[in-house]
């Protein structure tokens, strides 16, 4: 299997009292495509902001390989 370039482990994040991400884990491998889909308010943009280092999770972590340093991960909002 390809090398993992980004790994998300038990990621949780809340805004005020609203839990947006709860215990999310995922692994993204080199050369792999991923689709993040869901209804409005499901946490898609929040996850992408955590991957890009724009938001820090309440718990859990995002682990990036040397091939995916934070300066090479970008996020462009629709706003």
- pLDDT per residue rounded down to tens, the chain (79 residues): 578 999 999 999 999 989 999 999 999 998 888 888 888 888 998 998 999 888 999 999 999 988 877 777 776 666 6
Q: For residue 46, count other CB atoms closer than 10 A to its CB.
A: 20
Alpha helix ranges (H) inside 1-79: 44-51
User: Where does 4-68 show beta strands of DSSP type E?
Assistant: 4-15, 18-29, 59-64
pLDDT number for residue 71: 76
**Is the pTM of the predicted complex or chain greater than 0.85?**
no
**Rounded-to-integer distance, Cα 42 and Cα 44, Å:** 6
- Give the per-residue pLDDT at 77: 67
């Amino acid at each position: 299997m390809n090398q993992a370039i980004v790994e998300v482990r038990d990621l949780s994040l809340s805004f005020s009292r609203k839990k947006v991400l709860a215990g999310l884990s995922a692994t993204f491998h080199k050369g792999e495509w991923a689709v993040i889909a869901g209804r409005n308010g499901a946490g898609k943009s929040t996850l992408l902001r955590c991957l890009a280092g724009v938001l820090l999770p309440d718990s859990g972590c995002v682990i990036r390989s040397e091939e995916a340093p934070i300066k090479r991960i970008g996020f462009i909002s629709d706003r």
